[in-house]
Amino acid sequence: MAGTWLLDISVRFPTFDTVFPVNSLETRLPMASGYTSVNHPLHFSRPPTAPLQPPTAHNTPTPTPFHRKPGVCLTTSKQNAFHRKPGVSPMDAGDDLFTREDPIFTNKELLEISHLPGEGRIVGRDDEIADLATAVNPAIFGQSPSNVLIYGKTGTGKSLCAKYVSQRLVNTAGEEGVNATFAYVDCAQDTTETQAVQTIAEGVNDPEHTGINVPDKGLSTSTYYKRLWRILDQRYDVVLIILDEIDKLDDDAILMQLSRAGEAGKITDCKLGVIGISNKIQYKDRMDERVKSSLCEREFVFPPYDADQLRAIMQARSDAFHDDVLEPSTIPRAAALAAREHGDARKAIDILRYAGEIAQANGEPTVREEFVTQARERAETDRFRELIRGSTPHSRYVLQALALLSLSNGRQDGFRTSRVYEIYENICRQEGSDSLSLRRVRDLLKEHAFLDIIEQSKHSGGSAEGSYTKHQLLEDPAVVKEVLTEGSDR
């Protein structure tokens, strides 16, 4: 029986390869917010005596020049094959083995995801930036900023805007004579309380001034806290702590400590504000009530970008390329693709970068629209990998179950929760792990739906069956398979 066979043999990923025709699924995401202008004046309100300063040098974009490390830029480009001027030896004219000019990119860093764009390059987030600024505004007077929780789907600019506003706040506070800073923690990296507090303490410390040492490891959690509190009181009036991907923390312990540090008397001279960021809308439901009440003073949801916004975001970075290298249809095409699917700026920028790399690898002088299609596939795999980075094994098992169902049954209108749960339980057995309750698995499915990895639809089975939910992978099951098997290949 096909079903039994599926359950028996296909719970481990390598068995995917036995398999069935895969229909790639169309993904979609039509919703998007209103589009606002490219520039966004950001006014922190100040005491009446202090006039508003124009943006400082810190706020203006500082394009990083393209620094080529000598001897490093060897590419596979056909164009870059060994060209030597006749009659000129390498010793005379320099060694032509290596490409000295990148024919496509002039400043590729602008397309790196870690690049923090400056004023004028952040598009369509005026309202969100203004809201965030209002929430943390008291910090520039040395008062407690509001604690903030930012939600939104992946690539909607949450991390970017949180860092951007924090940096500008630090600058403005400095102009007001308030000593402020911010610390950034990637909680997918620092999942334990100890790792997170160590990262914060190290980030705000300057051992030359404080005389305090914050080693990478080796101290107890409480010792790290003690050092953190001492550093804060010694050095700062106000500190913002950005806890990015906050849902990846093992527990709420650090949130409790940070949100109560002042009232518990751990710090006396320094005010703390926490900006929590998550792409899991249900994260708050899991929070301890006390933490929730102090951490969620302000909440903001960042909507996905529409095609116009994505186009403007990419256009603002087109100086990553040499003049005339980008064909006119390239950016509109990439924007349309990225907007139709997820409204994700990271994916849009990735598509542009990969399209450039494809041109480079093929020795093409321009980035053509057709490269965008190839680049999209790679960006999609990267995006999914990033989406499930740091997710729990059970969250992955649930996806694995859906991917198995999709691959073995072809294109359907989805699978009922009971069916997904059945396969999930088999996967758990195979992995030697206790399965979670049906209720928890429903929650995991909801989280995947929020991230647009799957789509859920409600159905009515009439009086006999009642209503039920069906789940459908929106990601291409082959991409899901590829990414989920990466670990097992190693």
**Which stretch of DSSP H or E encloses residue 470?**
strand 467-473
Interface of this chain with ligand ATP, residues 120 to 149, rule: CB under 6 A: 121-125
Nearest distance from C-beta of residue 112 to ligand ATP, angstroms: 8
Give yes or no for residue 304 binding ligand ATP (CB under 6 A): no
Show the site string, 209-238: x = touches Mg ion by CB under 5 A, - = not.
------------------------------
Of all residues in the shown chain, the one whose CB is closest to Mg ion is 159
**Segment near ligand ATP (CB under 6 A); pick from 28-36, 70-78, 158-166, 199-207:** 158-166
Give yes or no for residue 152 binding ligand ATP (CB under 6 A): yes
Contact 344, 304 (CB under 8 A): yes
Give yes or no for residue 156 binding ligand ATP (CB under 6 A): yes
- Environment class of 12 (CB within 10 Å of its CB; exposed 0-12, middle 13-18, buried 19+): middle
Contact 447, 151 (CB under 8 A): no
Give yes or no for residue 188 binding ligand ATP (CB under 6 A): no
Binder of ligand ATP out of 117, 118, 363, 390 (CB under 6 A): 117
Distance (Å, whole) CA 364 – CA 356 = 9
| Binding residues with ligand ATP: total (CB under 6 A) | 20
Distance (Å, whole) CA 468 – CA 484 = 28
For ligand ATP, the closer of residues 113 and 296 by Cβ is 113
Distance (Å, whole) CA 214 – CA 198 = 7
Of all residues in the shown chain, the one whose CB is closest to ligand ATP is 157
- Residue 313 binds which of ligand ATP, Mg ion, none (CB < 5-8 A, kind-dependent): ligand ATP
Binder of ligand ATP out of 25, 32, 50, 113 (CB under 6 A): 113
> Three-state SS for 278?
strand
CB burial of 297-324 (b: ≥16 within 10 Å; e: otherwise) equals: bbebebbbbbbebbbbbbbbbeebbbee
Binder of ligand ATP out of 171, 257, 279, 400 (CB under 6 A): 279
Q: Where are the beta strands (DSSP E) in 74-205?
A: 148-152, 180-186
Nearest distance from C-beta of residue 384 to ligand ATP, angstroms: 11
Question: What are the beta bridge partners of residue 473?
Answer: 454
- Between strands 271-278 and 238-244, the pairing is parallel
Give yes or no for residue 259 binding Mg ion (CB under 5 A): no
For ligand ATP, the closer of residues 307 and 407 by Cβ is 307
Nearest distance from C-beta of residue 319 to ligand ATP, angstroms: 13
| CA 282 vs CA 13, 400, 473: distances in Å | 29, 21, 20
For ligand ATP, the closer of residues 33 and 257 by Cβ is 33
Give yes or no for residue 414 binding ligand ATP (CB under 6 A): no
Give yes or no for residue 353 binding ligand ATP (CB under 6 A): no
Give yes or no for residue 108 binding ligand ATP (CB under 6 A): no
Show the site string, 151-180: x = touches Mg ion by CB under 5 A, - = not.
--------x---------------------
Give yes or no for residue 33 binding ligand ATP (CB under 6 A): no
Which residues are CB-neighbours of 180 under 8 A, at least 6 positions away?
Answer: 139, 140, 169, 170, 173, 174, 236, 237, 238, 239, 240
User: CA 81, 86, 92: angle at the middle one, nearest 5?
Assistant: 90
Give yes or no for residue 160 binding ligand ATP (CB under 6 A): yes
- Biggest CA-to-CA distance, the chain: 89
